[in-house]
């Protein structure tokens, strides 16, 4: 019998990642330990693809203005192919206790790091696009073991960090309809299955949206909501939504809105034709990296120096969680699902904290946030951007601890 061609083996290995590392879930509510182990064939296939990258031509002197900088991507791809050690990152991630359980047809991946401190407060961490649970690797230790990181034992948390459906190590939806609200219900089901009630919710990006919906739909089981992506539009029924808004907040909001006018193309394509984009994202690792890393550059408080905030290893480990699982395409569908889902305009009544980082995608006025949330804490951060847990972990940690200290 002839051997299976290497490219077929690599593709099968990518599809089966996790299934081969984790026993089949025998019971509907079973929670099964999970270990990341990417097949060697997937890594060989990756290196071959990187070596055959066909880079586009670039206009002289444009840098990041037209999209991902060519010189930077070439350096990143060269490091990815010849210097990046995935096995070291895999071992690092596997130091965190990981699990899978099936909810609403999805094999949901999550990290469940319990504190050594008795009766620690349960806290959910969720990510958005183009992030992953890797974002939380700098804060899980300080949250669960604050004493070891110079903190107080009574600030300890039991952390549940979730890979959203269609992202990274979680399963991919096979039918339409997995909107942020449906994902929020999956998160609530997981916390009930783990026996946590009430718990805290913490998120940004799509996690901020889905966490908000958990706080609405499952309010009796949510003690508090902490956001660094505080979604809030103009209050309804107000003739001039800027009435009573301080001039500095008006200027800040308008400046970010003007900036985002040149940043919304990804929303349009992912919200209308994610499948078309997916053919490129799931076939070209260099293309996937260009699509993701451009957002880390655009949304960080780093000027033009992305590596002043994120190392190449940070960037590539996050990209790898999309590449080896083939979730570049499935992750983008959340934009489409959100666009076609009916909105939920309800106000959040559980205590809410907003940590507003200056380079966040959206920085609505405080008055707008208060209209949509039961806002009890509002922090204007001195620096930082969209990927707060990875970019400014200490600032985020301090704010999370201070907020939940009042709710324990």
Active-site residue list: 205, 335, 386
106-113 and 157-162 as β-strands: parallel, antiparallel, unpaired? antiparallel
CA 85/CA 344 separation, integer angstroms: 44
Residue 258's alpha-carbon distances to 145, 302, 318, 363, in angstroms, are 41, 19, 29, 12
Contacts of 105 by beta carbon, 8 Å cutoff, 6+ apart: 171, 173, 174, 175
Structure tokens at 123: 């806290």
* Helix/strand/coil for 91: helix
Q: Do residues 21 and 34 make contact, with C-beta atoms less than 8 angstroms apart?
A: yes
CA 355/CA 364 separation, integer angstroms: 12
| Number of helices (H), then strands (E), in the chain | 16, 9
CA 403/CA 128 separation, integer angstroms: 22
Q: Do residues 300 and 391 make contact, with C-beta atoms less than 8 angstroms apart?
A: yes
Q: Do residues 183 and 347 make contact, with C-beta atoms less than 8 angstroms apart?
A: no
Q: Do residues 142 and 149 make contact, with C-beta atoms less than 8 angstroms apart?
A: yes
CA 398/CA 220 separation, integer angstroms: 26
Which strands form 348-356's sheet, in the order they lie side by side? 31-34, 98-103, 106-113, 157-162, 121-126, 199-203, 222-227, 348-356, 373-380
């Amino acid at each position: 019998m002839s051997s299976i061609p290497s490219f077929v083996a690599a593709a099968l290995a990518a599809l089966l990642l996790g299934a081969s590392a984790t026993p089949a879930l025998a019971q509907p509510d079973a929670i099964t330990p999970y270990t990341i182990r990417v097949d060697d064939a997937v890594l060989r296939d990756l290196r071959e693809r990187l070596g055959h990258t066909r880079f586009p031509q670039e206009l002289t002197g444009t840098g990041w203005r037209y999209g991902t900088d060519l010189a930077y991507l070439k350096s990143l791809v060269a490091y990815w192919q010849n210097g990046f050690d995935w096995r070291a990152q895999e071992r690092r991630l596997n130091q965190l206790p990981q699990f899978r359980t099936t909810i609403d047809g999805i094999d949901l991946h999550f990290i469940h790091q319990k504190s050594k401190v008795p009766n620690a407060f349960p806290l959910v961490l969720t990510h958005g696009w183009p992030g992953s649970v890797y974002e939380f690797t700098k804060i899980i230790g300080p949250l669960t073991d604050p004493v070891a990181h110079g903190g107080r034992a009574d600030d300890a948390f039991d952390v549940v960090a979730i890979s959203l459906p269609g992202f990274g190590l979680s399963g991919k939806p096979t039918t339409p309809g997995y909107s942020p609200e449906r994902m929020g219900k999956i998160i609530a089901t997981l916390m009930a299955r783990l026996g946590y009630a009430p718990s805290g919710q913490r998120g940004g990006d799509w996690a901020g949206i889905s966490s908000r919906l958990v706080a609405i739909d499952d309010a009796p089981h949510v003690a508090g909501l902490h956001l660094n992506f505080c979604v809030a539009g103009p209050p309804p029924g107000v003739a001039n939504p800027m009435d009573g808004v301080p001039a500095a907040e008006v200027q800040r909001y308008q400046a970010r809105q003007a900036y985002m006018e040149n940043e919304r193309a990804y929303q349009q394509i992912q919200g209308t034709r994610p499948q078309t984009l997916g053919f490129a994202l799931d076939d070209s690792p260099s293309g996937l990296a260009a699509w993701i890393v451009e957002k880390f550059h655009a949304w960080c408080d780093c000027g033009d120096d992305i590596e002043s905030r994120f190392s190449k290893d940070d960037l590539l480990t996050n990209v790898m969680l999309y590449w080896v699982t083939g979730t570049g395409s499935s992750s983008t569908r959340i934009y489409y699902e959100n666009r076609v889902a009916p909105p939920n305009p309800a106000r959040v009544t559980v205590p809410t904290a907003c940590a507003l980082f200056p380079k966040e995608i959206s920085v609505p006025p405080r008055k707008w946030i208060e209209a949509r949330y039961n806002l009890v804490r509002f922090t204007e951060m001195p620096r930082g951007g969209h990927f707060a847990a990875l970019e400014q972990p200490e600032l985020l940690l301090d704010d999370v601890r201070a907020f939940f200290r009042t709710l324990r």
